[in-house]
Amino acid sequence: MFDQSQMDSKPSTRIDEARRQIEICNACRYCEGYCSVFPAIMRQRSFAEADITQFANLCHNCRGCYYACQYTEPHEFDLNLPGILAEVRTESWERFAWPGPLARLFQRSGTALALALVLGFAALFWAAQALRPESGEGFYAVMSHGLMVAIFMPAFLLPLAALFASLRGYWRHVGGGQIRLSHIRHALGRAARMKDLSGGQGQGCNFEDEDRFSNARRMAHQAVMWGFLMCFGATASGTIMHYVFNWPAPYGVFSLPKLLGVPGGILLVLGCAELARLKLKADPDLGAKQMRSGEMGFVLLLGFVSLSGLLLYAAAGTGAVAVLLPLHLGAVLTFFLLMPYTKMAHGFFRLAALLRDAADRK
């Protein structure tokens, strides 16, 4: 039996509203097998702010629980758990981001900000071609290797440091303790399979349509994740080949950087295109509305990074490289600098949430 007094006072914050809805869900328990969120909720009887932040970052916004719920609008309980957890999740990313104002700016104007930065950096890279070396092969005939390293090394390391600071703040807030190897295996296994996007029975979720179960979003996320990891592997292998084996680019089609980078780039393009399509179809009321521009901006930015990289590879040896290279480098630099403030951070936060959840399960 639900306590009607839960409905008598208007919640003052998103945390209060999330707590109200979670307490009702904990009493009902109809969605117990849907994802990691509900077992985590049902292990407790009271919910502190840190608990709610943890639940929000465990939630993958598949929305299956909303469409299965008997207490959604027009019921007086007016439950929308995916929506309120998305709000709390976004709030947590902004709270722990360093510096915080950049996260808030991107969430609300992400598409415009990403476009402006890509074009601005591309213009600077185009102007920097005047400093290109007199000799060089491949891309280094257009822009020197030393200039690229001088720009991209700090642009990669500094955002990683900012992201680490954000994750440390989150981990302390949710009371994360010592991590064991079994916790890592459990969390990575769920992340690799995108288990929490498979729905309660494994037939998928209802992200894009109330009555249609689909694994489309799960597969799109997997394409993006594995594509990104393959592209990162291509970059890492190229770095090792250059500095350890004194084998500078360009590399042949059967070299490790190309064998990883080309299919990885294709997976990224396809995955980002599908995610963008699904976001346009999905009900915006079941997500964080204030983050919609940031989410779409991140998907489009990541898709453009991979697409421009593929086009650049296809245009090797032609005059189009002088145009495509600044655009690609501008997109990559924008992606690096914005990484701690875009939805790229959600992958790290959700992995941290899965690690905490794995420890709680034990």
Instruction: Read off the pLDDT of residues 234-293 as tens digits, 9 standing for 90 and up.
Output: 999 988 998 898 888 778 888 999 999 999 999 999 999 999 999 888 888 888 877 777
Of the CA atoms within 13 Å of residue 163, those in its CB half-sphere come to 21
Q: Are 237 and 126 in contact (CB under 8 A)?
A: no
Distance from C-alpha of 56 to C-alpha of 82, rounded to nearest angstrom:
9
Instruction: Read off the pLDDT of residues 186-207 as tens digits, 9 standing for 90 and up.
Output: 999 888 888 888 766 667 787 7
- Reported pTM: 0.83
- Residue 218: both structure tokens together: 């799960």
- Residue 314: both structure tokens together: 């296809």
Per the model's pLDDT, the better-predicted residue between 133 and 157 turns out to be 157
> Quick one: pLDDT at residue 239?
87
Amino acid (one-letter) located at 217: R
Percent of the chain with pLDDT strictly greater than 70: 90
Lowest-confidence pick of 118-132, 168-182, 230-244: 118-132
Burial of 87 (0-12, 13-18, 19+ CB in 10 A): buried
The confidence band for 143, taking pLDDT boundaries of 50, 70 and 90, is low
Chain mean pLDDT for the chain: 85
> Structural domain boundaries of the chain?
4-93, 98-361
The confidence band for 7, taking pLDDT boundaries of 50, 70 and 90, is very low
> Quick one: pLDDT at residue 137?
54
Distance from C-alpha of 359 to C-alpha of 362, rounded to nearest angstrom:
5
Lowest-confidence pick of 40-54, 147-161, 229-243: 147-161
Instruction: Read off the pLDDT of residues 312-337 as tens digits, 9 standing for 90 and up.
Output: 989 887 888 888 988 999 999 999 98
Distance from C-alpha of 81 to C-alpha of 73, rounded to nearest angstrom:
12
> Quick one: pLDDT at residue 133?
56
The confidence band for 299, taking pLDDT boundaries of 50, 70 and 90, is very high
> Quick one: pLDDT at residue 347?
85
pLDDT, mean of residues 48-64: 92
Per the model's pLDDT, the better-predicted residue between 183 and 145 turns out to be 183
Distance from C-alpha of 229 to C-alpha of 223, rounded to nearest angstrom:
10
Would you give the DSSP letter of residue 214? B
All residues at 6 or more sequence positions from 145 whose CB lies less than 8 Å from its CB, including other chains: 136, 248
Task: Check pLDDT > 70 for residue 145.
Answer: no
> Quick one: pLDDT at residue 202?
64
Distance from C-alpha of 177 to C-alpha of 171, rounded to nearest angstrom:
8
CA distances from 113 to 78, 300, 302 (A): 35, 12, 14
Ramachandran region, residue 136 (left: φ > 0; alpha: ψ -120 to 50; beta: rest): left
Burial of 157 (0-12, 13-18, 19+ CB in 10 A): exposed
pLDDT, mean of residues 6-29: 78
